[in-house]
Amino acid sequence: MSQHLKVADNLVVSMHYTLTLEDGQVVDSSVEGDPLQFLQGFGQIIPGLEKELYGMAIGDNKKVTVAAVDGYGDIDPDAYQVVSRAMFPDDLNLEEGMGLRMRDQGTGQLIETYVAEIRADEVLLDFNHPLAGEILTFDIEISGLRQATDEELAHGHVH
């Protein structure tokens, strides 16, 4: 039955992909490992890629270019914050580009941030996604499709 399915909402999609930037740099790929699995129509992948998958069948290949606004968004100039170097443990070897998880003081939620610049007694943190502002190109192949279970639909993710 799955060989006749085409990508549609509420289906579990298995997809191999290679993600490259405009300069040709490969950022991520599933080709050497397991395919990415997600529920189509649940916003689990970036919108610009998700909308291009509709109607594809198992074995279909496609090259998809996604503008920043339909990917990880444009760079938000307000998503930077200067913090005191004293906020970090002395034994933490901070490096520019390093990813950090910080807890929001107000909500208690974990937030991903990146070290943008290290100054004498301050650190500039970047709260933008590392691929914000980038045009993304995906080489994709649909490797599997199946109906989602009631439990997967209720929970909003693949089990």
> Does domain 80-126 fall into CATH 2.40.10?
yes
**What is the rounded average pLDDT of the residues 62-90?**
94
**What is the pLDDT at residue 105?**
80
**What is the pLDDT at residue 108?**
87
Q: Residue 1: pLDDT above 80? A: no
**What is the rounded average pLDDT of the residues 80-85?**
94
Q: Residue 128: pLDDT above 80? A: yes
Q: Give me the amino acid identity at 143.
A: S
**What is the pLDDT at residue 142?**
97
**What is the rounded average pLDDT of the residues 93-104?**
90
All structural domains of the chain with their residue ranges: 2-72+131-155, 80-126
Q: What is the side-by-side order of every strand in the sheet holding 80-84?
A: 80-84, 122-126, 110-118, 99-103
**What is the pLDDT at residue 104?**
80
User: What pLDDT band is residue 3 in, cutting at 50, 70 and 90?
Assistant: low
CATH of the domain spanning 2-72+131-155:
3.10.50.40
Please, how many CA atoms are within 13 Å of residue 100, restricted to the half-sphere of its CB?
Answer: 22
Nearest to 2 by CA among 158, 117, 147: 147
**What is the pLDDT at residue 102?**
85
